[in-house]
Structure 1
Amino acid sequence: MKIFETINTKEADKITIERQGITYYQLMQRAAGEVFWWLKNHFADRETTFHFFCGQGNNGGDGLVVAKLLHKDNYRVFVNVVEEAGKPTEEFLTAKEELEKTDLKINTRAEYMLDRAQLVFVDAIFGLGLNREMPEEVKSLIKQINNDTRAIRVSIDVPSGLFMDKGSTFAVKSDYVLTFQFPKLAFYLHGNKDFVNHIEILDIGLDKEYINNTPTGLYLTDNIEARKKYRPVAPYAHKGTQGHAVIIGGSYGKIGAVCLSAKAALKSGCGLVTAYLPKCGYTIIQSYFPEAMALTNGEEYIEAISFDVTPKAIGLGPGIGQHPDTQQAIYNFLKNNHTPLVIDADALNILAQHKEWLSLLPENTILTPHPKEMERLIGSWQNDFERIAMMKAFSHAHNIILVAKDAHTMIVEGNTVFVNPTGNAALATGGTGDVLTGIITGLLAQGYPPADAAIFGVYLHGHTADIASGKTSIQAFTASDCIDNIGKSYLAIEKIALKK
């Protein structure tokens, strides 16, 4: 699914109005209708009290139309117009006139009905066009909205105060964001985690031709996109046709990392997996994971990397440590390797210490850093937008693919960014990064193009947590649960119907 910048979203509105022969207000009514139906389905209890906070722009107009629809449907509704939030637009005034024809009053101060079973604050103060700091009066109101723990906060299109193209420090802390037609990049940035919880993308019928033909460098990997990248196993496949992955890693006390990574590679669907690890891990991996083959070097850490097998893909780094001999072994390996490669963990930290080695990497090598590893590789940043720009530059300069692990992992291929929506806090436990390395390496071994292996692998990895955490709980989820649910994730992906 495409993620558009604000200028493209506004252009999509304009093109839709022209081609469909409607007015801006009619488009507003259409959008508000989708919000109304979502609220009605989500809050079916007629004892729910809705309190609207509406600015005087088109976002506020959306709120007024929704308030009118809920009122006509016999919900208890209160409306506040936030006059300090800017000058009224023509569409807002039309929505206000229509609302004034009903018996629903517009208030100039908050009146909270606390005797009702459920209180919902609907935030329609500012839309995606906000590009300046808010007046203090509006900030004060938003503080009140955020501090009332009795209410559920629902934002129309965007949480008010959230900037779309620069870092944000203050906005409505939304429980639900009901955004129109497209996901917004700002929703998935770490710095905005306090302002966005659940995201619902509402289709308001914007012009499909414009959406399909307008280029963008930003994408959200929704289930449809994941299904498109999925490659079913051929009916006459065998282990020789499904690819051979080698996982290089492990050191004394960290053999579990290479065990998890190797098992995840095989569970991702490749035909053969070889673990290359020090001798202290030989018995461990043969006992833990009998399906894997094992090659060893060194006693407690890897001293050299050399093998006779010819894999289709290699994963380097899980548990490998940073012993000087291991670092030299990695350098010697990189000088001679031309096999598709995934690099993780201490191999990344070693690479960060020797950035000149980046020139040795095969084209489209996949790096999978967590935030601190990313900082060591590319330097520090001031905000998420600067981080994305730096990742793009780094990816382009070294012709590599970055998998920037985070709550919403981003895959960066040159100037193109893919945002992953799957996964949850269950993945915040040791070993899940090793599992991701194994999954991506296994997909590479099966013949997935590098970018697809990274994008689909990250989706699959996060999806396992979405499936399992409802049964295990977020707290009790482990990296092994991630591996155990790869098959369930595949089964769910296979059931996704592709749009024609």
Structure 2
Amino acid sequence: MKIFSKEQIYEGDKLTATRQKITSTELMERAGIQIFNWMHMRMQGAQVPVHVFCGIGNNGGDGLVLARHLITHGYNVKTYVVNYSDKRSKDFLINYDRIKGVTKEWPTLMTCEEDFPEIHPDDIIVDAVFGIGLNRPVVDWVKALFVHFRKTKAFTLSIDIPSGLQTNQVPQNENDVVWAGYTLSFASPKLLFFLPDTAKYTVQWEVLDIGLDPEFLHTTNTEVELIGKYEVLPMYVPRQKFSHKGEFGHSLIIGGSYGKIGAVTLASRGALSAGAGLVSAFVPKCGYNVLQSSFPEAMVMTDVDDTIISDIKYSIEPTVIGFGIGAGTNTKTINAFEAFLKENKTPLVIDADGLNILAKKKALLKLLPENTILTPHPKELQRLVGEWNDDFDKLEKVKAFSKKHKLIIVVKGFNTITVMQDKLYINTTGNPGLSTAGTGDVLFGVITGLISQGYNPLVAAIFGVYLHGKSADIAVEDYGYQSLIASHVIDYLGEAYIDLFKQPEQQQEPQEVEEEGQRA
């Protein structure tokens, strides 16, 4: 799913109005009706008090359309205009006049804290104060209104975006923003729904189709894409009946040190379970018996050193090499890695201590093959790109780092983001159960195993992150968040593959309101 920028949404609105020969007011009517349909399907006429707070721009106009349809369908509605400025948008004014035609109880004009209404915990708040166009500080009394919403503990539904948020900034104060229980976003979700600094402002979100021009939606390239099942399914390459292990490549996992051979074991298992034809592990001598006994499917080669990686020599011709897990940052290991990079032409995936070595000796970045994949956790990423002010700043730094060194960066987190130059791919699978030792080693192995089979590095990163998270989502149903361990993620990778082809259960379509001869 594409995630459109604020500027692209504005352009889409204009193109839709032009190509469909409708006015911006008619497009606003569509949006308001879609919000009404969403609420109507869930409320089914319930007489819970609904408080609709409208700003004086187009977001407020959407709120007025919603309020009008709620009123005409017999709901218990109170409408408020949050009068924070003397300026009004044209479509707001049109819909302000229209709502007067369906009720004797005109919207209450709010200008200060004394105007705040009493709201009970069982009521519903609709936040239609500010939209994506907010580009100035919120006045103090409106901030106080947002705090008032939160104190009531009433369910809060935001239209398009929680008011007070801007699409490319983190709020300086969390009290300056509406905390929404649900946000209905037009055309596409917003990037800020997936970043730790801003995701907390909406518990859940949903996209509403307001009929934007199909050609615009299809042909417009976006900087950000949301990755789910239907995005990765076309990436999947099925196997032929007469295929054999030689067709799926040979993954070489290099890493480990005394006491940290488990990381190599997990990564090797992850690579083979992801579909690599062959997996070899290159480890210090102390890891030989561990790997041979715990993972007999792997072939094992050893360093001359008993406890660390000191001299990377192997006799095979791998399809892809993964380096770094459990390797440590001993001077001998750093030197061995540098010598290896100077000779290597094979695609690379680098994690853990491989990343720490690159951070210590950044000149080595020049030796990495183009489209090498780095899979850092937050601290490893910080060592590579430097400190950041907030999540938006972090992504800008990662994009610049990716462009400069021609690398693919997998920014691990709840919504793991794969970055290739200016492009962001946000993953939708995974859960807090992955917050445990070894799951990153498994992800590293899965991505390596996908490249081994012939997937290009970007696809391997996106697909690997999805499969890894989906496996955890399936496994957590049996183990729960606290008891999920890295080995479980490997064990459920097969089910994650199978899930790609499961059909969703059919849902009954809700009855919708139509707009004067035109279906919304």
> Would the aligned equivalents of 1:224 and 1:496 in 2 still touch at CA under 8 Å?
no
Q: Give the CA deviation at 1:494.
A: 2.6
Counterpart in the other structure of 1:58: 58
Q: Give the CA deviation at 1:365.
A: 0.4
Residues of 1 paired with 2:43 and 2:434: CA distance? 30
Q: Share of identical aligned residues, percent? A: 45
Residues of 2 paired with 1:390 and 1:81: CA distance? 41
- The residue matched to 2:500 in structure 1 has which SS? helix
Structure 1 runs of 4+ off > 4 angstroms? 42-45
What aligned pairs does 1:337-352 form with structure 2 within 5 A after superposition?
Answer: 337-352=344-359
Counterpart in the other structure of 2:280: 274
What aligned pairs does 1:66-465 form with structure 2 within 5 A after superposition?
Answer: 66-84=66-84, 87-103=87-103, 105-107=106-108, 108=110, 109-112=115-118, 114=120, 118-148=122-152, 150-169=153-172, 170-297=176-303, 298-465=305-472
TM-score by length of 2: 0.90
TM-score by length of 1: 0.93
Residues of 2 paired with 1:42 and 1:287: CA distance? 56
Deviations 1:116-172 (A, max 9, x none): xx4332211100001111000111111122333x32222111111111123323421
Counterpart in the other structure of 2:514: none
Deviates more, 1:371-380 or 1:130-139: 371-380
Q: Give the CA deviation at 1:110.
A: 4.3
Q: Give the CA deviation at 1:86.
A: 6.4
Deviations 1:373-426 (A, max 9, x none): 111111122233322222222111111111111222221112222222222322
- The residue matched to 1:241 in structure 2 has which SS? helix
Q: What amino acid is the match of 1:92? A: F
Residues of 1 paired with 2:311 and 2:413: CA distance? 32
- The residue matched to 1:285 in structure 2 has which SS? helix
Q: What amino acid is the match of 2:199? A: K
- The residue matched to 1:163 in structure 2 has which SS? coil
Residues of 2 paired with 1:486 and 1:10: CA distance? 41
> Would the aligned equivalents of 1:65 and 1:95 in 2 still touch at CA under 8 Å?
yes
List gaps (5 residues or longer) in structure 1.
none
CA RMSD of aligned residues (A): 2.1
Q: What amino acid is the match of 2:402? A: S
Change (3 A) 1:154 1:360: same
Residues of 1 paired with 2:285 and 2:49: CA distance? 66
Deviates more, 1:255-264 or 1:475-484: 475-484
Deviates more, 1:273-282 or 1:57-66: 273-282
Q: Give the CA deviation at 1:42.
A: 4.2
Q: Give the CA deviation at 1:364.
A: 0.7
Residues of 2 paired with 1:42 and 1:281: CA distance? 58
- The residue matched to 1:301 in structure 2 has which SS? coil
Residue-pair matches, total: 494
Residues of 2 paired with 1:292 and 1:79: CA distance? 67
Residues of 2 paired with 1:78 and 1:289: CA distance? 65
Q: What amino acid is the match of 1:160? A: S
Q: Give the CA deviation at 1:112.
A: 4.3
Q: What amino acid is the match of 2:79? A: V
Residues of 1 paired with 2:33 and 2:187: CA distance? 13
Deviates more, 1:461-470 or 1:400-409: 461-470
> Would the aligned equivalents of 1:440 and 1:453 in 2 still touch at CA under 8 Å?
yes
Residues of 1 paired with 2:68 and 2:241: CA distance? 57
Larger radius of gyration: 2
Deviations 1:206-265 (A, max 9, x none): 111122233333222233221122222233221111121111122222222111111111
List gaps (5 residues or longer) in structure 2.
505-520
> Would the aligned equivalents of 2:263 and 2:326 in 1 still touch at CA under 8 Å?
yes
Change (3 A) 1:49 1:273: farther
Q: What amino acid is the match of 1:119? A: D
Residues of 1 paired with 2:50 and 2:262: CA distance? 52
